[in-house]
Amino acid sequence: MSKVSVAVLVSGGGTNLQALIDAEKNGIINNGHISVVISSKPGVYALERAEKAGIPHFVAEKKKFGDYTEAFGNEIKKYLDEYGAQVIVLAGFLSKLSESLCEEYKDRILNVHPALIPSFCGKGFYGLHVHEAALEYGVKVSGATVHLVDSEYDHGRIIMQKAVEVLDGDTPETLQQRIMVQAEHIILPQAVEMLCKEIAGE
């Protein structure tokens, strides 16, 4: 069985990338194979994780393109084409994708967001900002969402969600860590396998 080629886009430490690498190794992702990792920044730890796992990895440096989202998208597309990517996973990728990429990969781009959409999502809600907002609001439950990506921030159809309890005394950092471990690292690999299985069966 030929596996579905998955490209993982990163911008930072790559904890979700690591969860995907481990899930492929452990057979949780069975219908897909991570064929390439692309980072929007040089020197991030996610690239080291890809290196250690023997996965081809490249930098498409966002700041070289300023606001030219299409040019940035074309730079990413070079690597997607080279490795025949059929699915794109945004794993802590902090840049907006170009409209043409969103169109070309319609219903084949997954993103994980560290809150229960539609809460605490949209422009500006990324990283610790999400958890700061959740704590400020006083919610008792937060979590993570895997959704399909379109050209609006955190907008596409929801694929999976997992709730995580907010504890008394939580800081944005402790909440972030718990949501990663108890939700993101579980549902992102599951959603990737679900989409790859669907494509493999087409």
Domain ranges of the chain: 4-200
Regarding pTM above 0.85, the answer is yes
- Give, for all 202 residues of the chain, the pLDDT tens digit: 689 999 999 999 999 999 999 999 999 999 999 999 999 999 999 999 999 999 999 999 998 987 668 999 999 999 999 999 999 999 989 888 999 999 999 999 999 999 999 899 888 888 899 999 999 999 999 999 999 998 776 678 999 999 999 999 999 999 999 999 999 999 999 999 999 999 998 6
Contact between 121 and 115 (Cβ < 8 Å): yes
Tokens of 57: 């990895």
Distance between CA atoms of 88 and 110, rounded to whole angstroms?
6
pLDDT of residue 155: 72
pLDDT of residue 95: 86
For β-strands 87-90 and 57-59, DSSP reports them as unpaired
pLDDT of residue 1: 66
**108 vs 7, 130, 139, 193, CA distance in Å?**
11, 25, 32, 12
Catalytic residue annotation = 113
pLDDT of residue 94: 83
Domain 4-200 matching CATH 3.20.20.70: the answer reads no
Is the bond leading into 56 cis (omega within 30 degrees of zero)?
no
Contact between 173 and 128 (Cβ < 8 Å): yes
Angle at 129 between CA 12 and CA 171, to 5 degrees: 100
Angle at 94 between CA 24 and CA 139, to 5 degrees: 90
Buried b (16+ CB within 10 A) or exposed e, 48-72: ebbeebebebbbbebeebeeebeeb
Hunting for tokens 């990324």 — which residue is that?
126
The amino acid at residue 192 is V
